[in-house]
């Protein structure tokens, strides 16, 4: 005899068209970031979907026309049983005019067992599967003893911490599952932080005085901020090589912890010596590190480089780290996330995956970053687990295997039900 839960899981196959239609509807909402500020319609749809299956809704603007949605379903025994956050972002990667899509990226098509459209893999597939799992559990009158908190957040694609706002708003649980692109691996992640390094002269000199700075007897203690920045770039390259030799993390190729000098801005006019130069860098670091640690290492190293230069010694670089948005202030932070394979929720998720797939789940690390690190920062154990191949994320003709979407949804039904009905640790 099939249990009631098994019958509900079997419904995913029977109602596959309904699941695919849900994903197609989510894709049809145009939510690329950049430009962002375009998610209200999509988030309203998610909020109404959750409300119809018994969730109470909290919806607020992170930015104008970019609201977060949090749905809460209180468990029947909230005090004694495990609570869960299911998290995903509604924004998708930008679509450029020169991209050769087979069809409108926001009018999804089915082809060769895949659904094609912007956000299919990253990560509206994860949102659709999780929402459909909750819908089937609700329709099946399956009692959930612990609280379930569903978060549909904005801004992940441009470093806008919709998830951070959820944490700051007080949403907490015994475990958080980020249903972002992981090809159904259970994953942790390294971290990313951007920063600006600035070299600035106290005075601005006319181009005609350059000889006095660089030749014998010139008598002028000055320098080009651009030329001095090249010394700091060399220092960053030296530190990057040192990290590659001295730091490792299982699952990453050596040297994955990189320092990318991404953008340089300097000078004011061809008739003047450059009195300021700014370097925008992106730093990737390992799951067992924090952005506070790695930025301190960079600052200390570059200040030593500056100390070895006569002019930089008197005009040391300054540093600005992170930011709340790549759109608003040209900065972002993605904290790292370590997954504990022995955590009760991770073990249960592994069991749920194996029930659906037969083969054991892979536990590894993401090659990219998600909002998962914000849960780690908030002291909430978390993991990434979602449908979609990372190689399809952000890609032209982005796609998701329908079979994988179906199996993900089945896994979520099993995991949500059993986790919610586990007692908390005493």
Q: What angle do CA 278, 283, 287 make, to 5 degrees?
A: 160
Task: Determine the longest span between alpha carbons in the chain, in angstroms.
Answer: 96
- Catalytic position from the list 122, 147, 156, 398: 156
- Catalytic position from the list 66, 91, 122, 160: 91
Query: Do β-strands 186-189 and 363-366 pair in parallel, antiparallel, or remain unpaired?
Result: parallel
91 is catalytic: yes
Tokens representing 115 are 């659904």
CA-CA-CA-CA dihedral for 75, 80, 82, 83, to nearest 10: 50
- CA 222/CA 309 separation, integer angstroms: 12
104 is catalytic: no
Active site members: 91, 156
């Amino acid at each position: 005899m099939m249990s009631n839960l098994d019958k509900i899981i079997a419904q995913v196959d029977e109602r596959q068209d309904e699941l695919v239609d849900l994903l197609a509807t989510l894709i049809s909402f145009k939510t690329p970031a950049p430009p962002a500020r375009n998610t209200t319609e999509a988030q309203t749809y998610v909020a109404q979907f959750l409300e119809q299956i018994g969730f109470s809704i909290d919806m607020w603007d992170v930015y104008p026309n970019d609201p977060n949605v949090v749905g809460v379903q209180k468990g029947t025994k909230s005090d004694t049983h495990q609570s869960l956050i299911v998290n995903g972002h509604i924004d998708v990667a930008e679509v450029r005019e020169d991209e050769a899509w087979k069809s409108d990226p926001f009018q999804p098509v089915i082809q060769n067992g895949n659904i094609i459209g912007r956000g299919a893999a990253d990560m509206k597939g994860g949102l659709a599967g999780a929402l459909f799992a909750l819908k089937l559990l609700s329709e099946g009158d399956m009692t959930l003893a612990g609280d379930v908190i569903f978060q549909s957040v904005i801004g992940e694609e441009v470093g806008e911490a919709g998830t951070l706002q959820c944490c700051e708003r007080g949403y907490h649980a015994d475990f958080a599952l980020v249903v972002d692109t992981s090809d159904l691996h259970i994953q942790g992640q390294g971290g990313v932080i951007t920063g600006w390094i600035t070299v600035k002269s106290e005075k601005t000199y006319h181009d005609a005085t350059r000889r006095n700075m660089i030749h014998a007897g010139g008598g002028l203690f000055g320098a080009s901020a651009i030329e001095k920045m090249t010394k700091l770039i060399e220092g960053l390259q030296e530190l990057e090589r040192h990290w590659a030799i001295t730091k490792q993390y299982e699952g990453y190729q050596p040297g994955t912890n990189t320092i990318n000098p991404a953008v340089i801005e300097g000078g004011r006019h061809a008739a003047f010596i450059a009195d300021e130069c700014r370097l925008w860098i992106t730093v990737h670091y390992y799951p067992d590190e924090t952005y506070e640690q790695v930025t301190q290492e960079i600052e200390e190293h570059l200040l030593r480089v500056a100390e070895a230069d006569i002019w930089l010694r008197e005009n040391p670089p300054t540093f600005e780290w992170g930011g709340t948005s790549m759109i608003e202030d040209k900065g972002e932070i993605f904290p790292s996330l370590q997954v504990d394979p022995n955590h009760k929720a991770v073990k249960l998720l592994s069991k749920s995956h194996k029930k659906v797939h037969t083969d054991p789940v892979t536990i590894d690390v993401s090659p990219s970053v998600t909002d998962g690190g914000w849960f780690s920062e908030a002291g909430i154990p978390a993991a990434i687990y979602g449908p979609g191949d990372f190689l399809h994320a952000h890609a032209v003709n982005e796609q998701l295997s329908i079979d994988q979407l179906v199996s993900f949804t089945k896994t979520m039904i099993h995991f949500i039900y059993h986790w919610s009905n586990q007692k908390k640790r005493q």
